[in-house]
Amino acid sequence: MIAGLAEATGTTSTGEAVQFWVLAVVAVGGALGMLLMRKAVHSALCLAATMLALAVCYMAQGAVFLGVVQIVVYTGAIMMLFLFVVMLVGVTSEDSLKEQLKGQRFAAALCGLGFGVLLVAGIANAKLDHFTGLSEANAEGNVPGLARLIFTRYVWAFEVTGALLITAAIGAMVLTHREHVKAPKTQRELAAQRVRDNLQVPPLPAPGVYARHNAVDVPALLPDGSPAELSVNATLRERGQVRDVSEDMQRRMAELENATADWLGRASSERPVVAAPRRSLEPAGNHEPEEGEQ
Amino acid sequence: MNPVNYLYLAALLFTIGAAGVLVRRNAIVLFMCVELMLNASNLALVTFSRLHGTLDGQVIAFFTMVVAAAEVVVGLAIIVSIFRTRHSASVDDSNLMKL
Amino acid sequence: MNSLIPLLVAAPLAGAALLLLGGRALDRFGHWLATALAALSFGFGLALFSDMLGREAEHRAVTKHLFSWVPVNGFQADVAFRLDQLSMTFVLLITGVGTLIHLYSVGYMAHDERRRRFFAYLNLFLAAMLLLVIADNYLLLYVGWEGVGLASYLLIGFWQHKPSAATAAKKAFVVNRVGDMGLSIAIMLMFAEFGSFAFTPVFDGAHEASEGKLTAIGLMLLLAACGKSAQVPLQSWLGDAMEGPTPVSALIHAATMVTAGVYLITRSSAIFNLAPDARTAVVVVGAVTLLFGAVVGCAKDDIKKALAGSTMSQIGYMVLAAGLGPIGYAFAIMHLVTHGFFKAGLFLGAGSVMHGMNDEVNMRHYGGLWRHMKVTFVTFGLGYLAIIGFPGLSGFFSKDRIIEAAFAKGGTEGWILGLCALVGAAVTAFYMTRVMVLTFFGEKRWQPDESGELPHPHESPRTMTIPMVLLSFGSVFAGGLFAFHDSFLTWLEPVTGHSEGDSPLSSWTVTGLTTACMLAGVGLAYLMYWRSPVPVVPPVGSPLTRAARRDLLQDDINHAVLVRPGSALTATLVWFDSRGLDGFVNGLAATIGGLSGRLRRIQNGFVRSYALSMFGGTLVLVASTLLMRSV
């Protein structure tokens, strides 16, 4: 069946044509989705779909080994690596799609369009009518054919890529490795430090617990209704994943105050000033690491 | 259908990837776009292999995948270490090289 | 015996090094050490001289190769010495007079704090001067030439706390540079023409060289000689050089260094013999300078400056004689040696007078000193008689032969030169009589010094009088000794050659004329300064006198001809440099800076922006590739 997929003709079988159009729609849809999704995790899933579609394309063109490798290595390993990093950075964080560089988006569109037109024109100009097909090359099977090439003509490149992979692995370890210059402080030392500095002697406040929100990402509220930032885990604060409910609460407080004032018939000037709703907590910049963070 | 359509598809995907590199700010997404461009070129290589009836194109695509894997490992490590120090994955925030 | 030749230079050089590097420890006996080393050098000279006399005339010249200095293929310079009769004469003069003046300086500089340094410089001068006269090639000669220039500079400016001395040293140095330039160009021309600058190849090759090139070399050598020997037009430094201590004036600026120009011309006789035009230039320079110096000497009231004018004039005689060619070389050197004796004696006498008169130099403030300093009077008087050419004394023989040779040049030229020399002899007699009368005779015109005390003239110490006495022996007898059976001429002939000219006047006629001129000059001076009272304040005088007091306007001419156009040129160049070049350069820098400031905006630090430019570049590349393919 595989050999029959790549006949030595200028056209393909109808089956392959149907398969191509379906896969092309999936691939382009996935690519566009990756480009347009606000959340990185969605982009990653869209790209996985594109890659799967491309894997099938490879197989349809007689590159069975590559198709499998595409699924195993790309969608299996590399995309998982991407997802890990996405989780590390914050799975729910969204990109602001507002462009900051002046004219960047317009220029990118122009360049992209021009490049696409050029490529298409180039391909169209090439007059690729006759496709030899791989039935002959794949006669003893696709994998043995590839192996013959890799271990004979391309053996040197193969060895070098091995060295490259090892270098990359070591490089990644070096880059992400955090050297401790001195021994990390123990809890006892941290407690003593806190007392000595007299900055935050009691434990940090717990996250807020409400009827509808009892997650760690919901800050507790201070008496005036503003959120207590210290009550949320520093990592969540950094990622900007703090769910601020103070606005909601303050709106309700204001409504309550107004209702009370209406009921008491007070003039507007005598009514108590209601604190303005706070802006939702922005991801903190690079503030000093908190003490309990180590 | 003429198999040359695979090439058009590769060109389209490559262009979308390139546009993504230019438009997106999240370093991870940016990396995904680079991967998409590599995949598009792989598709073109496989199609060329079919065009010429030899397996060399597939071998080169294979090597591309290996190199892409290495690149992703190092690139993601860089992103993680940048995120650790600057608490941001946006490439626009890493502009310390500016005068 | 030849191994003694380098020691001639080494002894005083070692003295200079020791004294300069030895520190205060040598303060107590350093001057005696220097004198001893000078005397040692004189001893070596005498030993070599007796050795030389023991050989036949044609085998007397010896060379001593010490080491290869610049052993480059095609450019060979050796440290080699040539000691022939000419060098020998100079060696004996330099070391002999030099030793005496070292001895004199022991007394003269007794109260100077920096005496050790002074003696170091004197030794340095001796070493350089000896190197100059015994060098076997022009490059080594040039080293000595510059060395004596340096020593002269250091010694003129020895009392550098006086601005006048510092300026005079600088002036001497700068003017000498002009002459040195001439010598260096001459050496380069020689190298270009003969491929060498050692004496033998140059002199042997001179026969094949074209006359134009020889004339050019000769003129450059003449320029060098003018600088070092204070000949017109580079004469202006010698008068100011009298700011140095008197022993320096005696040794360097009368007896030895200033005669280096004459040595250079005589040494290069092979070149000058074949370049008549250059020789004409030499005699013109000599004749002009001998009159120039004599006129200046007549007007100066400063005893040392009057003697400096006289030195200039006497060297003019020597240059004139050297320019006459083979008929004059020997007499130039002969006059040089006798002049070395009597002029050094005169300067030492002047120093002795100044020593006794609280460093007063104005002759109008002297008078009647013969009674107070008898030794000085006698030695100075003998020097005086020698220089004016009193029959029987040194100057008589040497100067007479030069005047004779000038006439023997022949034709109109000979007459003009001979008459110039005769007039010079008369003027010499006049101004020297003036110096003698103003200083030692007449009434006392002593003036109180700054503290209000009249000077108490007294005879100088033994260390000063002994050299004066010894030099006066030279002044009296050297000429006769040299002229006896033409011994000096015979002695030098193997080096310089000799030919008798055809003089239109007989030898006795010239002698008679010279003596008559001398007597006329003396008589005139006698009438003007002995018979009539000498005013303490100089009278206004004729325009010529006033000009002569200002050294015949030499500084004004230099200023007008050289300094002012030079300053104007420099100002123009500075203006051009600051406005034109700097303006261009700064404008360029500002433009580039501004452009860069604009261009910098492209580097906004955003990775995506850079990616966009890369992508755009790729676009352009692909497009151009496709275009090229389709064309």
What's CA A155's distance to the chain center, in Å? 36
Closest CA to C492 of C505, C503, C482: C482
Rounded average pLDDT over A129-153: 86
Q: Does residue C602 belong to the interface with chain B, where contact is any CB pair within 8 Å?
A: no
Half-sphere exposure of C30 (CA within 13 A, CB side): 28
Rounded average pLDDT over A112-129: 86
Residue pair C404/C397 in contact by the 8 Å Cβ criterion: no
Question: What pLDDT score does C318 carry?
Answer: 94
Q: Residues of A with CB below 8 A from B31's CB? A: 82
pLDDT per residue over C560-583, tens digit each?
888 889 999 999 999 888 888 888
β-bridge mates for residue C77, sequence order = C70
Q: In this complex, which of B11, B35, B79 lies closest to A116 when CB atoms are compared?
A: B11
- Look at residue A281 and tell me whether its pLDDT is greater than 80: no
Q: Which domain holds residue A246?
A: 205-279
Residue A38: DSSP 8-state: S
* Pair A167, A65 in one domain: no
Question: What pLDDT score does C629 carry?
Answer: 80
Closest CA to C337 of C147, C480, C131: C480
Q: What share of chain A is helix, strand, coil (3-state, %, to 5)?
A: 60, 0, 40
Interface test with A, best of C622, C629, C631 (most A CBs within 10 A): C622
- Look at residue A166 and tell me whether its pLDDT is greater than 60: yes
* Pair A119, A171 in one domain: no
Average pLDDT, chain C: 90
Does A58 fall in a domain?
A: yes
Residue A13: DSSP 8-state: -
pLDDT per residue over C183-210, tens digit each?
999 999 999 999 888 999 999 999 888 9
**At C233, is the secondary structure helix, strand, or coil?**
coil
Q: How far apart are CA A65 and CA A73, in angstroms?
A: 12
Residue C506 CB burial class (10 angstroms; 0-12, 13-18, ≥19): exposed
Written as one string, the DSSP assignment of C84-150 is -HHHHHHHHHHHHHHHHHHHHHHHHTTT-TTHHHHHHHHHHHHHHHHHHHHBSBHHHHHHHHHHHHH
Closest CA to C105 of C121, C86, C89, C91: C121
Residue pair C336/C318 in contact by the 8 Å Cβ criterion: yes
Rounded average pLDDT over A141-169: 92
Kindly determine whether residue B91 and residue C606, on different chains, have CB atoms separated by under 8 Å: yes
Q: Which residue has the higher pLDDT, A112 or A92?
A: A112
- Cα A264 to Cα A260, A267, A268, C587: the distances in Å are 6, 9, 11, 80
Residue type, C442: G
Q: Look up tokens 């060619």; give the residue.
A: C325
Distance of residue C587 Cα from the nearest chain B Cα, in angstroms: 24
Closest CA to C599 of C613, C611, C585, C586: C613
ipTM of the modeled complex? 0.92
Q: Does residue C603 belong to the interface with chain B, where contact is any CB pair within 8 Å?
A: yes
Question: Which of A95-109, A270-284, C128-142 holds the top average pLDDT?
Answer: C128-142
Residue pair C307/C347 in contact by the 8 Å Cβ criterion: yes
Question: What pLDDT score does A24 carry?
Answer: 94
Q: Residues of B with CB below 8 A from A76's CB? A: none
- Cα A11 to Cα A1, A127, A131, B53, C120: the distances in Å are 17, 13, 8, 15, 108
**At A226, is the secondary structure helix, strand, or coil?**
coil
Question: What pLDDT score does C577 carry?
Answer: 87
Q: In this complex, which of B35, B77, B90 lies closest to A176 when CB atoms are compared?
A: B77
Does A290 fall in a domain?
A: no
- Look at residue A58 and tell me whether its pLDDT is greater than 80: yes
Written as one string, the DSSP assignment of C382-416 is HHHHHHHT-TTSHHHHHHHHHHHHHHHT-HHHHHH
Does A188 fall in a domain?
A: no
- Cα C206 to Cα B13, C142, C196, C274, C294: the distances in Å are 91, 20, 12, 8, 36
Sequence-distant (≥ 6) Cβ neighbours of residue B44 within 8 angstroms:
B6, B7, B10, B11, B14
**At C439, is the secondary structure helix, strand, or coil?**
helix
Distance of residue C584 Cα from the nearest chain B Cα, in angstroms: 28
Q: Residues of C with CB below 8 A from A114's CB? A: 619, 623
What's CA C453's distance to the chain center, in Å? 38
The angle at the Cα of C600, spanning C597 to C603, to the nearest 5 degrees, equals: 170
- Look at residue B99 and tell me whether its pLDDT is greater than 60: no
Residue type, C435: V
Q: In this complex, which of C604, C606, C622 lies closest to A118 when CB atoms are compared?
A: C622
Average pLDDT, chain B: 88
Roughly what angle, to the nearest 10 degrees, separates helices C211-229 and C276-299? 20
Token pair listed for C424? 């010079």
Closest CA to A253 of A270, A228, A231, A278: A278
Distance of residue B26 Cα from the nearest chain C Cα, in angstroms: 11
Q: Residues of A with CB below 8 A from C602's CB? A: none
Kindly determine whether residue B22 and residue C608, on different chains, have CB atoms separated by under 8 Å: yes
Half-sphere exposure of C133 (CA within 13 A, CB side): 31
pLDDT per residue over C118-140, tens digit each?
999 999 999 999 999 999 999 99
Q: Taking the model in full, what pTM does it have?
A: 0.61
Q: How many domains does chain A have?
A: 3
Q: By CA distance, what is C607's nearest residue in A? A: A101
Q: Look up tokens 């120039």; give the residue.
A: C292
Kindly determine whether residue A101 and residue C623, on different chains, have CB atoms separated by under 8 Å: no
Average pLDDT, chain A: 79
Distance of residue A116 Cα from the nearest chain C Cα, in angstroms: 10
Kindly determine whether residue B94 and residue C607, on different chains, have CB atoms separated by under 8 Å: yes
Q: Which residue has the higher pLDDT, B33 or A290?
A: B33
Closest CA to C403 of C484, C483, C306, C511: C511
Q: How far apart are CA A149 and CA A144, in angstroms?
A: 9
Q: Does residue A117 belong to the interface with chain B, where contact is any CB pair within 8 Å?
A: no
* Pair A230, A250 in one domain: yes
Structure-derived torsion over alpha carbons of residues B24, B26, B27, B29, reported in degrees to the nearest 10: -70
What's CA C574's distance to the chain center, in Å? 35
- Cα A248 to Cα A212, A225, A243, A276: the distances in Å are 12, 10, 11, 12
Q: How far apart are CA C39 and CA C170, in angstroms?
A: 31
Q: Which residue has the higher pLDDT, A95 or B81?
A: B81
Q: How far apart are CA C314 and CA C336, in angstroms?
A: 8
Q: How far apart are CA C621 and CA C615, in angstroms?
A: 10
Length of chain B (residues): 99
Q: How far apart are CA C445 and CA C366, in angstroms?
A: 6
Structure-derived torsion over alpha carbons of residues C613, C615, C621, C627, reported in degrees to the nearest 10: -120
Question: What pLDDT score does C548 carry?
Answer: 80
Kindly determine whether residue B9 and residue A24, on different chains, have CB atoms separated by under 8 Å: yes
pLDDT per residue over C528-564, tens digit each?
888 888 887 888 778 888 888 877 778 888 888 888 8
Q: How far apart are CA C37 and CA C427, in angstroms?
A: 40
Question: What pLDDT score does A269 carry?
Answer: 67
Q: Residues of C with CB below 8 A from A101's CB? A: 604, 606, 608-609
Kind and range of the H or E element at A104? helix A104-125
**C interface toward A at CB cutoff 8 Å?**
604, 606, 608-609, 612, 615-616, 618-619, 622-623, 626, 630
Q: Is the peptide bond before C233 cis (omega within 30 degrees of 0)?
A: yes
Q: In this complex, which of A111, A121, A122 lies closest to C615 when CB atoms are compared?
A: A111
Domain ranges of chain B: 26-86
Does A197 fall in a domain?
A: no
Question: What pLDDT score does A6 carry?
Answer: 46
- Cα C109 to Cα C113, C115, C122, C161, C463: the distances in Å are 9, 6, 12, 16, 11
Residue A263: DSSP 8-state: H
Tell me which chains share at least 3 CB pairs under 8 Å with chain B: A, C
Question: What pLDDT score does A211 carry?
Answer: 60
Q: Assign A1 a pLDDT band (cuts: 50, 70, 90).
A: very low
Structure-derived torsion over alpha carbons of residues B17, B19, B25, B31, reported in degrees to the nearest 10: 20
Q: How far apart are CA C507 and CA C509, in angstroms?
A: 5
Interface test with B, best of A11, A134, A160 (most B CBs within 10 A): A134
Q: How far apart are CA C314 and CA C230, in angstroms?
A: 11
* Pair A83, A169 in one domain: no
- Cα A171 to Cα A153, B70, B71: the distances in Å are 29, 10, 10
Q: In this complex, which of A24, A51, A88 lies closest to B80 when CB atoms are compared?
A: A88
Q: Residues of C with CB below 8 A from B96's CB? A: 605
β-bridge mates for residue C76, sequence order = C71
Distance of residue A266 Cα from the nearest chain B Cα, in angstroms: 49
Distance of residue C583 Cα from the nearest chain B Cα, in angstroms: 29
- Look at residue A291 and tell me whether its pLDDT is greater than 50: no
What values do phi and psi take at C491, rounded to 5?
Answer: -60, -45
Q: In this complex, which of C604, C606, C626 lies closest to A118 when CB atoms are compared?
A: C626
Does A195 fall in a domain?
A: no
Q: Which residue has the higher pLDDT, A153 or C537?
A: A153
Written as one string, the DSSP assignment of C443-465 is S------TTSPPP---PPPHHHH
Distance of residue C606 Cα from the nearest chain A Cα, in angstroms: 8
Q: By CA distance, what is A115's nearest residue in C? A: C619
pLDDT per residue over A60-87, tens digit each?
988 899 999 999 988 888 898 899 888 8
pLDDT per residue over C487-529, tens digit each?
888 888 888 888 887 778 888 888 999 999 999 999 999 888 8
Question: What pLDDT score does A93 carry?
Answer: 63
Residue pair A116/B12 in contact by the 8 Å Cβ criterion: yes
Kindly determine whether residue C604 and residue B98, on different chains, have CB atoms separated by under 8 Å: yes
Distance of residue C622 Cα from the nearest chain B Cα, in angstroms: 13
Question: What pLDDT score does A210 carry?
Answer: 65
Sequence-distant (≥ 6) Cβ neighbours of residue A120 within 8 angstroms:
B8, B11
Residues of chain C with pLDDT below 70 are none
Question: What pLDDT score does A272 carry?
Answer: 59
Tell me which chains share at least 3 CB pairs under 8 Å with chain C: A, B
